[in-house]
């Protein structure tokens, strides 16, 4: 416990000036006093420093009502980063390291949680089978190592990053879960962004249905143009009622000698817009980060995923910044490119 207190004091003093700096630079402007006080208390408890990007104050839209009567509100929550939790663990005196690895179906692996041991053998160049999960092991001085196993099916999310780099994402979740189990006093109840489900968004209002149109047979309506010409030739003293009747379309019974109207020819189907969308998203220029100035097509999968991850972290830090809107638009285009890469390779591979 003494070591824990020493590590806590080493993370810095929470002076009034420091707290005010965090409120001005880290937290969103709309945060309430109670929510900010809770955020600071969670920073102190976990030992994560928001000024070092070890934790973020994130705004989320949540439905405080129910499905029949939704009540969408914005709530500000404490959210740690995986890098912050690892850095915090390094400050514990008994921390001796952490291991983690994803596991595929045909890997040779034995997990003994009772002894805190993991034997995992595989050839990285000849891995086969589907991704089934990940393990992580935290080693502490004088204590039994903590081993955690996560099933991939229970953690995977429907997001571009999980679709593109599932191995990296499940390993991150395993490391964080192991740290929570090894140090519950500091990390208990804390979850990183990779573990959180896709955010809820307030549904857009449904457009009002268009009024139903009554179709009139074409052969029963005369051309209106001659009628309008005859109306113009009438004297201006015609009453308003007569003028209104004259402007109305004249409907008569179908004449026997009238030829049937030709059947409409169906218009050709429009080409699928997917290729154009892919081309436009690939031509997007990255506006931030180490790959700034490159197009999305120039980035490999790992670089694209890192750029998307960096954008999310920047928006968590300063969601109300002047550049936030531009970053969100750039991020949306990059995520579109990531989604397209998940589906396009199969099509291209079959064409070759």
Q: How far apart are CA 337 and CA 343, in angstroms?
A: 10
Q: Which residues of the chain have pLDDT under 50?
A: 1-11, 200-208, 210, 214, 216, 220-221, 224-244, 246, 250-257, 272-279, 345-352
96-153 tens-digit pLDDT: 999 999 999 999 999 998 889 999 999 888 888 899 999 999 999 999 999 999 999 9
Residue 87 is predicted with a pLDDT of 93
Closest to 49 measured CA to CA, from 6, 70, 78 = 78
Task: Specify the residue for token string 């670089």.
Answer: 303
Residue 279 is predicted with a pLDDT of 44
Residue 120 is predicted with a pLDDT of 94
Task: Specify the residue for token string 């679709």.
Answer: 163
Q: Which helix (H) or strand (E) holds 135?
A: strand 131-140
Residue 262 is predicted with a pLDDT of 58
Residue 109 is predicted with a pLDDT of 93
Pick left, alpha or beta for residue 95 (phi over 0 → left; psi -120 to 50 → alpha; otherwise beta): beta
Pick left, alpha or beta for residue 12 (phi over 0 → left; psi -120 to 50 → alpha; otherwise beta): left
199-233 tens-digit pLDDT: 544 444 444 454 555 454 555 445 544 444 444 44
Q: Which two tokens stand for residue 351?
A: 């064409």
Burial string for 221-250 (b: 16+ CB within 10 Å, else e) reads: eeeeeeeeeeeeeeeeeeeeeeeeeeeeee
Task: Specify the residue for token string 């690939």.
Answer: 282
């Amino acid at each position: 416990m003494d070591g824990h207190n020493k590590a806590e004091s080493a993370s810095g003093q929470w002076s009034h000036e420091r707290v005010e700096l965090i409120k001005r630079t880290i937290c969103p402007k709309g945060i309430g006093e109670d929510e900010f006080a809770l955020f600071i208390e969670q920073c102190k408890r976990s030992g994560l420093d928001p000024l070092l990007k070890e934790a973020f104050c994130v705004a989320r839209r949540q439905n405080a009502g129910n499905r029949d009567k939704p009540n969408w509100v914005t709530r500000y929550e404490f959210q740690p980063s995986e890098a912050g939790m690892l850095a915090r663990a390094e400050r514990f005196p008994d921390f001796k390291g952490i291991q983690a690895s994803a596991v595929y179906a045909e890997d040779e692996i034995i997990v003994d949680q009772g002894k805190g041991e993991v034997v995992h053998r595989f050839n990285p160049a000849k891995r086969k089978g589907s991704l089934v999960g990940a393990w992580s092991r935290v080693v502490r001085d004088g204590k039994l190592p903590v081993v955690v196993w996560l099933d991939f099916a229970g953690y995977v999310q429907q997001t571009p990053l999980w679709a593109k780099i599932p191995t990296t994402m499940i390993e991150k979740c395993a490391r964080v879960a192991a740290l929570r189990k090894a140090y519950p006093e500091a990390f208990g109840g804390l979850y990183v962004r990779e573990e959180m489900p896709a955010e809820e968004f307030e549904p857009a209002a449904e457009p009002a249905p268009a009024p139903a149109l009554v179709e009139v047979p074409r052969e029963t309506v005369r051309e209106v143009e001659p009628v309008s010409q005859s109306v113009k030739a009438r004297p201006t003293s015609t009453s308003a009622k007569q003028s209104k009747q004259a402007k109305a379309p004249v409907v008569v019974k179908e004449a026997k000698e009238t030829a049937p109207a030709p059947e409409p020819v169906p218009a050709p189907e429009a080409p699928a817009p997917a290729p154009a969308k892919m081309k436009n998203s690939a031509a997007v220029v990255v506006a931030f980060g180490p790959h700034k100035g490159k197009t999305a097509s120039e980035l490999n999968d790992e670089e694209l995923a890192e750029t998307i991850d960096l954008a999310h972290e920047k928006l968590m830090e300063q969601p109300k910044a002047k550049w936030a809107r531009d970053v969100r638009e750039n991020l949306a285009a990059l995520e579109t490119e990531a989604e397209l890469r998940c589906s396009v390779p199969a099509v291209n591979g079959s064409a070759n």
